[in-house]
Amino acid sequence: MTTRDLAIDLGTASIRVWGRGRGVILNQPSVTAVNVRSGAVLAMGHDAYTLADRSSGHIVVERPLRGGAVIDFGTTARMLEMVLKRCGATRRQRPKVLLCVPSTITHVERRAVEEAAHRAGAAHAYLMEQPMAAAIGAGLPVQEPVGSMIVDIGGGATEVAVLSLGGIVTSKAVKVGGFDIDTAIRDHVRDEYGLAIGERTAEELKMAIGAAYPQQEEPKAEIRGRELASGLPKSIVIAAEEVREAIDEQVTAILRAVLDTLADCPPELVQDVLANGIALVGGGALLQGLDARIAHESQVKVVIGPAPLDAVISGAGHTLEAFENLKHLIG
- DSSP letters for 130-149: HHHHHHHHTT--TTSSS-EE
Between CA 214 and CA 222 the distance in angstroms is: 20
Query: Residue 139's pLDDT is what?
Result: 96
CA dihedral (19, 167, 109, 180) in degrees, to 10, reads: -80
The CATH number of 140-176+248-309, from 3.30.420.40, 1.20.1560.10, 1.20.210.10, 3.30.300.30, is 3.30.420.40
The tens digit of pLDDT for each residue in 96-136 reads 999 998 888 888 888 888 988 998 899 999 999 999 999 99
**Could you tell me if 121 and 94 are in contact, meaning their C-beta atoms sit under 8 angstroms apart?**
yes
Residue range 178-246, CATH number: 3.90.640.10
CATH topology of domain 6-132+312-329: Nucleotidyltransferase; domain 5 (3.30.420)
Query: Residue 2's pLDDT is what?
Result: 59
| 181 SS3 class | helix
- Residue 165, phi-psi category: left (phi > 0), alpha (psi -120 to 50), beta (remainder): left
pLDDT under 70 in the chain at which residues? Answer: 1-3, 331
Query: Residue 1's pLDDT is what?
Result: 56
Report which residue type is found at 177.
G
Nearest one of 138, 171, 184, 173 to 254, comparing CA atoms: 173
Question: In the chain, where are the structural domains located?
Answer: 6-132+312-329, 140-176+248-309, 178-246
The pTM of this model reads 0.92
Domains 6-132+312-329 and 140-176+248-309 share a fold: yes
- In 30-182, DSSP assigns E strands to 32-35, 41-44, 59-62, 65-66, 69-70, 96-101, 124-129, 148-153, 158-164, 167-174
CA distances from 265 to 25, 145, 246, 269, 273 (A): 37, 14, 31, 7, 10
Query: Residue 3's pLDDT is what?
Result: 61
